[in-house]
A and B are shown apart, each in its own frame.
Chain A
Amino acid sequence: MTENIASQLTEIDSDQDVITRVISGDRNAFAALIGRYSDPLYRHALGMTGSPDVAEDILQTSFIKAYHHIGEVRGRFDAWLFRIVANGCKDWLKNIRRTHLSYDEDDQPSGYATPDEDLDRTELRQDLDGALAQLAPSLREAFIMKHVEGRSYEEMADLLGTTVGALKMRVHRAREALHALLEEKYA
């Protein structure tokens, strides 16, 4: 039911219109905001934490926090919400010092034709996760936003409140670190 409400609102109302409705007591209107932003934010949280369960928890907590503080939104809602999720991921990384991330996505359908390709993909996936886990959070964040979320440098700069040059530097350093970690096996 909430998904129906979300789809009705998604095409029509701007974020600000939906926020106004939520503030005026239309709790169900909030579903439209969840529908709009949950997928990209989930990918961000998943990339940062490596765990689908943790990513979902962080995202759920972030949406609930956003609902409670929705009257405090100034400027772009998506950027405000992104910061809540990004901070949630960084807090989690600070609290959980893990040396290896497991990107468990067994429920995702395989797009590979043969078992060999599937096995190969699984190995690469695990190696990439292991390499990402060794990056500093700021480098991992920049790499995930650029390569997994497919954002432009300008968009990243908007969301993170920093310059395009600084972000290019972070992405380049992340690539070089990943390259060094993976080239022996894959290059």
Chain B
Amino acid sequence: MIESHDTHENRETPRSEPMARDAAARADRPLLDREVPLPGSAGDSMSMAALHQWLDGERSAADVTLDPAQVALWSRLSAETDRRRQVTVPEGFMDRVMSALPAVESTSEAQPVTATSPQIAPTAGVPLSLALIIGTALLAVGILIGRLIA
């Protein structure tokens, strides 16, 4: 968050004037005196365009005029990116992924229904323990009703 620390209360002071003067003075200075080159200046953009053509492989270094300092920087960066291109996945990665995959589900083929096959069987959705609890509860209710009737 940028906050104004301007303590000047007099709003009528023509504050833009010194700034304009500074800007004019800066503009008069030769390009080489600038600490930061003007963005988008013709020489700068031409140099970058040549650099892109070289790095994209569209033209060889001999065909374009490049600043030796640019060439030195990008040669070093290229050596570093080439080295990173050799990086491989850590050892044992494949085994770690494979062991994290769910086990193959057992194929449950449909059993043919016969006259002797049980009509009610616990399904995968209802655990056996739950079925036993329900069965016991129904039995208890049945005994209770039987006693009440007797």
Contact size class for B?
A: 20 to 34
Residues of A within 8 A of B87 (CB): 39, 42-43, 46, 105, 108
Nearest A residue (CB) for B78:
A147
Nearest A residue (CB) for B69:
A187
Total A-B pairs in contact (CB under 8 Å)? Answer: 98
CB distance from A69 to the nearest CB of B (A): 13
Contact size class for A?
A: 35 or more
B25 touches A (CB below 8 Å): no
Cα–Cα, bound, A149→B84 (Å): 8
Interface residues of A in 146-187 (CB under 8 A from B): 147-150, 153, 168, 171-172, 175-176, 178-179, 182-183, 186-187
Specify the main secondary structure of chain B where it touches its partner: helix
Nearest B residue (CB) for A47:
B84
Residues of B within 8 A of A121 (CB): 80
Nearest A residue (CB) for B52:
A172
Cα–Cα, bound, A2→B81 (Å): 31
CB distance from A24 to the nearest CB of B (A): 11
CB distance from B78 to the nearest CB of A (A): 7
- Given contacts A25-B104, A28-B98, 6 further A-B pairs with CB under 8 A are A3-B95, A27-B104, A59-B89, A128-B77, A150-B85, A186-B76
